[in-house]
Structure 1
């Protein structure tokens, strides 16, 4: 007799659930429209209870998919103010899902999440090294507030504190930045429930601009004031020689008419100043190629003078190709002013693209290549059959030449620039140093290729 009443009540509840409420629940949970409507019906229109209802349902369905292979996905990045950079890989089961808006949004949100959590260093609590766990445990056990507790009670308290500490270090345990009622691991599971595929957050890297570098401590305003104050003195001292300098300039007046278009072309190709380009073209009879060489030599000379100056500012950049290859790079300069300039930004963008285009590159310079790798390459070269019959002194020269070439293939600065293969990347950097007037250092980069095997410490030890 009560059945008709229950049915009527259920229909009334369903009818009173507004589309706006369903939309709100969908946005907060990522669940399907009918699932949201059903959850609100089951919970009397209570959005908090409906969210919990969907979370429980999402968790249950996500667990069933957790064993399925994830070989597709996407590489994503997030750059905050050019000073914090994140590179992230998230995997799913099919390319179709990886290119969908829901999965793309998840990757973008996770990259932003890492940027917002400077304490996060690992994906999950299980990834925290045992050595670090033991160290944290030893510190907690020695805290004064626990010394008077019985040992068994003390251990339980320490376990609780350690668990909390490990969760602070793990990405998947963080409250989601867009909805702090949901932790990241549940956000991932909700997305699994929505799209119907297994999802794995595979890895991430975080760069903080200038971390570990010594920063300049002088007052920039005071430095400018000091330089301004020094100008009259410099003018007085150099007043007499200035006449001679003007005379020399008159004597060396350009004999070749140089068009504005040619000057502009040379500026675009070299990044040098307008007057430098005009002079270079005049000195080389308007020959564009010779003028480029002239400026390169001049640029290299002036760059060397700046190479000892501290580069602790700059910018972090990224380049993502088809969501399958991603690069995060840090390039340093001396001042924030230059770091925010278009020329410097263009250099960083070009270098990130260069790394994507050079899959063999693993290090910034030849000097960064570990000695163990150099020795291994030398040993392989010495054992080649075509060298067996050579005299030892000749053999060593051939080996050195081959090693030099091989190491050059591994170093970013030794690559031919992708936009102009007549120059190397290291020369591109030095040209930019000459143009901007500041020291520039390519500090580090990381390259992710979707689905590549990631070597762990355990893997390395096992091979050894």
Structure 2
């Protein structure tokens, strides 16, 4: 009866536009939004609070239900900040819905926007960090004159605030700073009717920890354009000499279409492709090998140059497998090129396709892992009757093969299994003229434990 009276009093002041606005901001149902506005006299902020409280109560009842489904999402900002996130729900049906998808996308964006965030909740912060923060606060000059019990209370308050700054779920929501992320998640729980758990995230900043070059973008462009005439002169002189040598050899018919195909597959220059095909009698596979060998030689000369620019990329397969990867080059100019972007995208896809891969290179594999593999192989029954020296050689071969299976750079390229990833990278180095380093990657598979996460170390 009271509610009906309120409806008659405030009906004129609650417009459909206001109801729609509240619904868009909170995700609550139309009737719930209308009731919230009526209860709060049309005050949009108070109505949001009203719905949040209602949402929190509904969400808490669902918090114990198992979340075994969900989706993995990513967000890349300007190729320089990258985020991978896993959010779980109860059913595949909900995980494929627009509301849940938007939640995952926005959470990834929230992490990208929150540079200080390192953990999901304050409880995840390691005890040693908490103790260190407490020690620092207790020694601050503004507290030295305070009584011990007062000082302890102030310190605890400051530490709590600091821990909340490190926790994703305690951040003000980027699309509505009147909400913190944990309450926004609970509102979504109330809306979709299933429990939701933000399980984990990782954030890459391009080049963090690497020495940066002071050269600016304009200088990079100038350096690129200035270098071109020199390289042209160097290439033209041997080209004319090679042309004379070619005249003395039997002519091999090399079509423009074949040259174009080889150029697209290798990224080498037109004249280099033509020469490779001439040298190999028009055999495309042999010509690729010819150029690869030439490319490897060129790439090796550049491997000592600092790679502190580049890009961060991601690849998501069916929302159930996700990869975040950082690949470095020398200049921002090259980092933004299509050739480099294609390499990064292909490397991310490669990691998705190789579930056994855990490291960038063999050199990144910890000595403890290598020792364990050797120990296991030495105890195999099929080697028990072998002489010691023979057994050691067999074990070394097996361990080498096993380590190669764990390293990204040792994998056959998914688009051409005659090429290893490390050779693909070197081909690209030769094509673009800059050093390239695959620095790190992380791979999430929906539902795996955090300990199972495949994380690539720096190369």
Answer whether TM exceeds 0.5 for this pair.
Answer: yes
TM-score w.r.t. the length of structure 2 is 0.93
Q: Structure 1 stretch 73-82 or stretch 243-252: which is displaced more?
A: 243-252
> Which residue, 424, 427, 440 being the options, matches 1:444?
440
Q: What's the counterpart of residue 357 of structure 2?
A: 361
Shift of 1:252: 3.1
**RMSD over equivalenced CA pairs, Å:** 2.4
The equivalent position to 1:137 in structure 2, one of 111, 134, 137, is: 134
Name the counterpart of 1:460: none
Q: 2:246 aligns with which of 249, 252, 258?
A: 252
- TM-score, structure 1 normalization: 0.92
Determine if the alignment matches structure 1 residue 196 to structure 2 residue 203: no
- Give the Cα separation in 1 of the matches to 2:441 and 2:152: 42
Equivalent residues in 2 for 1:27-426, closer than 5 Å: 27-218=24-215, 246-247=240-241, 249-253=243-247, 255-426=251-422
Q: State the alpha-carbon separation in 2 of the partners of residues 226 and 360 from structure 1.
A: 41
Give the SS at the match of 1:166: helix
In the alignment, structure 2 segments of 5+ residues that lack a partner are 453-459
Spell out, residue by residue over 1:376-397, the C-alpha distance to the aligned partner (whole angstroms, 9 max, x if none).
0111111111111111111111
Report the CA distance shift for 1:228/1:21 in structure 2 as closer, same or farther (over 3 A).
closer
Q: Deviations over 1:31-79 (max 9, x none)?
A: 1112111211222222111111101111111111111111100000000
Q: Please say if residues 220 and 331 of structure 2, whose CA atoms lie closer than 8 Å, have aligned partners that are also in contact.
A: no
1:7-26 equivalence runs, <5 A: 7-14=4-11, 16-26=13-23
Question: What are the Cα deviations for residues 117-152 of structure 1, in whole angstroms up to 9, with x where unaligned?
Answer: 100000000001110011011111111111111111
Q: Structure 1 residues 435 and 223 mapped into 2: Cα distance closer, same or farther (>3 Å)?
A: closer
Shift of 1:221: 5.6
Separation of aligned partners in 2, 1:355 and 1:166:
34
For residues 243 and 73 of structure 1, the distance between their equivalents in structure 2, rounded to whole angstroms, comes to 61
Distance (whole Å) between structure 2 residues aligned to residue 414 and residue 179 of structure 1: 46
Secondary structure, counterpart of 1:376 in structure 2: helix
In structure 1, distance between residues paired with 2:420 and 2:70: 34
Q: Distance in 2 between matches of 1:406 and 1:286?
A: 37
For residues 42 and 269 of structure 1, do their structure 2 counterparts lie closer, same or farther at Cα, with a shift above 3 Å needed? same
Alpha-carbon distance, 1:6 to partner: 7.3
Q: Which runs of 4+ in 1 moved over 4 A?
A: 218-232, 242-245
Change (3 A) 1:190 1:247: closer
Q: Deviation per CA, 1:82-119: give whole Å up to 9, x if none.
A: 00000000001111100000000000000000000100
Q: Deviations over 1:132-177 (max 9, x none)?
A: 0110111111111111111111111111111111111000000000
Judged with a 3 Å threshold, the aligned counterparts in structure 2 of structure 1 residues 444 and 224 are, in CA distance, closer, same or farther, namely closer
CA contact (8 A) 2:83 2:204 kept: yes
CA distance in 2, matches of 1:124, 1:230: 51
Alignment correspondent of 2:457: none
Quote the Cα distance in structure 2 between the aligned partners of 1:208 and 1:99: 29
Are residues 383 and 48 of structure 1, via their aligned partners in 2, closer, same or farther at CA, if it must alter by over 3 Å? Answer: same
Number of positions where the alignment pairs a residue of Structure 1 with one of Structure 2: 449
Any unmatched runs of 5+ in structure 1?
457-464
Per-residue displacement from partner, 1:304-342 (whole Å, max 9, x unpaired)? 111111111000000000000000000001111111111
Counterpart in 2 of 1:462? none
CA distance in 1, matches of 2:384, 2:238: 65
Q: 1:256, CA displacement in angstroms? A: 2.1
